[in-house]
Amino acid sequence: MNRRVLIGIFDSEDAILQATDSARRRGWKIVDVFAPYAVHRLDKAMGLKRSRLPWVCFALGLFGASFKVWFEYWTTASDWPINVGGKPWNSLPAFVPITFEVMVLCAGISTVLAFFGMSRLWPGRRAALLDPRVTNDRFALVLEEDNAAFDVAEVERFLMEHRAVRVEEREQEGTA
């Protein structure tokens, strides 16, 4: 379903921070904020929940490590034990280095993939840009006109107060 959004374009970090912060306080629905770089404390300003990526990382790291330990034990000590330099069939200490490497590899790669999935990034995806300069030096605050109480004029004024360089109203299909 289509919806109307109000977009404020800013050109400074401080402005967007304050604007977002007070917009949230006023209970307006913040669709998203667009920034050319990771602005400090903006997540708090938008009131976002913490990312769950660390859990993915931990889980798959654990999996990689335990799989490798089992694999090394199986190949070396159980499936086809070979006497190598008189070392015990199960030379656990000697398995540590590779176990660690596999853990890191598993955790790292899987977290990245998880990230791509979560944030719906894939090769060749067309970028939906609010402003061509939003990846350069502009910041954009997107507010949804969700209910009748949402007074466009007032919000525009509010945005201008917060040193927005431009404010525009737009039809948007789906969610940004």
Partner 1 sequence: MAEVCSPLRLPLIAGHKKPGTVTEDVCRPMLRPPSTLWWAGFTLAFSLLLLGVAAISYQIATGVGTWGLNTSVGWAFDITNFVFWVGIGHAGTLISAILFLFRQKWRTSVNRSAEAMTLFAVMCAGIFPVIHTGRPWLAYWLFPYPNTRGPLWINFRSPLAWDCFAISTYFLISATFWYVGLIPDLATIRDRLVEQSSAVSPGGLKARPAALGLRQRLFSIFSLGWNGSYRVWQHYEVLYLLLAGLATPLVVSVHTIVSWDFATAVIPGWHATIFPPYFVAGAIFSGIAMVLTLMIVARKAMNLEDYITLRHVDVMCKLLLLTSSIVALAYGTEFFTAFYSGNPYETFVFKNRALGPFAWAYWTMVSCNVLVPQFLWFRSVRRRLGIVFVLTLFVNVGMWFERFVIIVTSLHRDFLPSSWAMYRPTIVEVSTLLGSFGLFFTCFLIFCRVLPVIAMGEVKAVLHHGNGNGGPA
Partner 2 sequence: MENQYWRSLEEREHFGDGGGEFQESPLRQIEPDQSRRGFLKAAGFAFAGGSLIGCSRAPAEKAMPYLSQPEGLVAGRAQYYASTCAGCSAGCGLLVKVHDGRPIKLEGNPEQAIGRGATCAVGQASILGLYDSLRLRQPLAEGKPTSWTEVDAAIRSHLKRDTAVRYLSGTITSPAKQAAIDRFLTQFHNAQHVMYDALSASAILDAHQQTHDARVLPHYRFDRADVIVSFDADFLGTWISPVEFAHDYTSRRLPPDRSWHAQFEARMSLTGTKADRRMKIAPGEIQERLLRLLRQVESANAGGDEVAERLLRSRSRSLVLCGANDVDAQVIVNQVNHLLGNYGNTLDIERPSRQRRGNDRELAKLLNEIKAGHVGALFMDGVNPMAELPEPPELGRVGLVVSLAGSLDETAERAHYVCPDHHYLESWSDAEPIAGLISLTQPAIRPLGQTRAIIESLSIWSGQPERAYDLLRQKYASNWERSVQAGIVQVEVGQAGPPAKWRDGQPKPPTPPSDSSGHTLVLYPGVAMLDGRHAYNPWLHELPDPITKITWDNCASLSPATAASFGLTDGDVVRIESMELPVVVQPGQHDSVIAVALGYGRKASERFANIGPHWIDRGPTVNAKGHVGENAARFLSLDGGVLRYERAGVHIAKTRRHIELAATQTHHTMEGRAIVQEVALKELGKPPETADVSEELWPPDHPTTGHRWAMAIDLNACTGCSACVLACQVENNTPVVGRDEVRRRREMHWIRIDRYYSGTPDDVEVAHQPMMCQQCEHAPCETVCPTLATVHSDEGLNQQIYNRCVGTRYCANNCPYKTRRFNWFNYPREDRLANLVLNPDVTVRTRGVMEKCTFCVQRIQEAKINSKHNGAPIQDGDTRTACQQCCPASAIVFGDLNDSKSRIARLAKDGRQYRVLEELNVGPSVHYLKIVRQEDQRNG
CB closer to partner 2, 37 vs 80: 80
Total number of residues binding partner 2 (CB under 8 A)? 9
Reference 9, options 171, 112, 129; nearest CA is 129
Q: Give φ, ψ of 2 to 5 degrees.
A: -75, 155
Sign of the C-alpha dihedral computed for residues 140, 141, 147 and 148 taken in this order: negative
Rounded to whole angstroms, how far apart are CA atoms 33 and 18?
12
Residue 2 near which of partner 2, partner 1, none (CB within 5-8 Å, type-dependent): none
| Distance between first and last Cα of the chain | 12
Among 58, 89, 100, 116, binds partner 2 (CB under 8 A): 89
Taking CB under 8 A as the rule, which mask of x and - marks residues 81-110 in contact with partner 1? ---xx-x---x--xx-xx-xxx-xx-xxx-
Residue 1 near which of partner 1, partner 2, none (CB within 5-8 Å, type-dependent): none
Residue 44 near which of partner 2, partner 1, none (CB within 5-8 Å, type-dependent): none
Select from 44-52, 82-90, 117-125, 153-161 the region that touches partner 2 (CB under 8 A).
82-90
Stated as kind and residue range, the H or E segment containing 5 is: strand 2-10
Stated as kind and residue range, the H or E segment containing 43 is: helix 42-46
87 lies in the binding site for partner 2 (CB under 8 A): yes
CB closer to partner 1, 50 vs 148: 50
